[in-house]
Structure 1
């Protein structure tokens, strides 16, 4: 089992509830904007705290309201790729990749460069990157942080069709070659049909 997420959380007048136990592989949270997909990802990452419930990932309990367990975000070892990449604009690509680098990373720095095809970008500033290049760098930064699982929040939504086709095979390779639990958020049905081993509709 990759993830076990049982949560109940209110944001304003909106109630977010989910009760799921997932299989290994890439699990997609699928639904319209406003369904709470990103909020659920943030709860798994520890950025938000559910009102009640239990969250486990890769065999470790990250949050349990009844047992008073709430592992801090930095210790959850989540590799988080945001919708907009969120690269540090004042750092070149190499510094972005090495920020938060962890000795327990599943791939070496050189292996990440080769896997993602970003070795030629090391001296570039984020502002000069295309959307697809920026997302590949963001994925590389997540991999180098030593994650036990990956969280991908609509990583293709801000890209044009050509750039989307550039990143989709990268995500397929991640799923196939890393054998790491992946929780993936999208509102695009064709995208999740192509990528996901399991789809959870919200």
Structure 2
């Protein structure tokens, strides 16, 4: 099922003009605050009527300004999870969940209460009132309520923005389980947190000042140095897919990627599991020869595929590592002194401790 969005809208001092098509899986709408993310998702939900354009999901037209078509929100069959959980305080968790069932259309297949309770680990919470829940638990209940309405698509607007670090880490595995589970719901996920989207998203739409900067599969977009102005130099980095090979007694885990092995701490996944991890551009060093006598355990052969000078003294280097892609951020002086050019072969060096546990996901 494909979501197609091609809209424009004028606010006082802000112009939105976006067009993109996305399919199954989790699509992240990503950009800095004020980029237009919530405006787009509200237009899809029917909470905003754009000035011009079209919005469709599969063969259903939600909005068409030329024909004056505007499907009311209640008819769009979209589940919406907001930044704040918006649970009913006078109802128990079970009652909040079953409230969503009232809006499930008859004859439409989807998860039942037991399915959702198991998927989101809600069994210990069923008799509690919302006031007795943590922030992460409230969001899991809100997500369960949305799923029980049996939507054809799920919209999530900054669902983890109000949570602290530990609560985020608590709920992210449940979102990964939802992404990889049997429901197969397409999800439009709004966030300005890079760690969230790199763990969850299959594809990404990058927004900047009300316009689409880039769109495509997550692994391709994140490894493109052209996205640095949107992400910021400190957040830019590639996403790799790796297989867990072994866990050592010293706490390091051996991971296998197409270019070789990596040794990282903080990997909580069984041997044989496929995980994804984000490697920041600022944490990748380069050497023209194979380095010796270093404390760094991770040394990968790479080929330079692009050199992108920055506005200051830095440069972003696009690298091919086997079938994977990396980015290194080094100084322009280093580019000159190392005689780096497209096609040059060198070695990427990554410290084991540079990949934070929150940057590692299923």
Q: Distance in 2 between matches of 1:161 and 1:167?
A: 10
Q: Which residue among 103, 110, 115 is the counterpart of 1:106?
A: 110
Deviation at 1:105, TM superposition (A): 5.7
Aligned length: 202
Tell me the TM-score normalized by structure 1.
0.95
RMSD, aligned α-carbons: 1.4
Note if 1:155 corresponds to 2:155: no
CA shift digits 1:6-45 (9 cap, x unpaired): 1101222211121001132111000011111111111111
Residue 36 of structure 2 is aligned to residue 31 of structure 1: no
Provide the rounded CA distance (Å) in 1 between the counterparts of 2:14 and 2:188: 22
The residue that corresponds to 1:196 in the other structure is 201
Does the CA-based 8 Å contact 1:46-1:72 persist in structure 2?
yes
CA distance in 1, matches of 2:96, 2:109: 15
Higher helix share: 1
The structure with the largest strand share of the pair is 2
Q: Which residue of 1 aligns with 2:94?
A: 94
Q: Shift in Å at residue 122 of structure 1?
A: 1.8
1:186 aligns with 2:191: yes
Q: Which runs of 5+ in 2 are unaligned?
A: 208-362
Structure 1 portions without partners, runs of 5+:
none
Verify: 1:79 aligned to 2:79, yes or no.
yes
* Partner residue in 2 for 1:40: 40
For normalisation by structure 2, the TM-score amounts to: 0.54
Counterpart contact for 1:105–1:145, Cα < 8 Å = no
**Structure 1 contact 105–143 (Cα < 8 Å) conserved:** no
Q: Report Cα offsets for 1:115-155 as digits up to 9, x if no partner.
A: 11112212211111101100100000000011000001111
Equivalent residue number for residue 51 of structure 1: 51
Quick check: which has more Rg, 1 or 2?
2
CA distance in 2, matches of 1:189, 1:65: 34
Structure with the larger RCO, 1 or 2 (CA within 8 Å, 6+ apart): 1
Q: Which moved more, 1:98-107 or 1:155-164?
A: 98-107
What is the rounded CA distance, in whole Å, between the counterparts of 2:122 and 2:180 in structure 1?
Answer: 20
